[in-house]
Amino acid sequence: MAGAELSAGWLRALPSGVDPCGENGEFHTFVTHAPVFAELVDVSPGEVVERDGFVCAGLLPGARRSTAGKIAGERARSSAG
């Protein structure tokens, strides 16, 4: 699941016992667009690696945005003025 976009399907696929908010440190997120951002953060998932029982996905420069991300970013820019 490392490197995947957070979505309703991703949340449904979480194993039982995993807090869907990640409150127990089960996962971390990286925000690429929000109303307070001047522009989208242009990154894509990098290599997924496992170290000491933890799975991590790196971030690389470059776009791999979902349609939802593009729409959200466009809304953020249009509402900003």
Query: Which tokens sit at 54?
Result: 């933890």
pLDDT at 63: 65
Q: pTM of this prediction?
A: 0.56
**In degrees, to the nearest 5, what angle opens at C-alpha 60 toward C-alphas 31 and 38?**
40
pLDDT at 27: 83
Task: Convert the pLDDT of each residue in 10-65 to its tens digit.
Answer: 889 988 988 988 888 888 888 888 999 999 888 888 889 999 988 888 888 886 55
pLDDT at 81 over 60: no
pLDDT at 25: 82
pLDDT at 33: 87
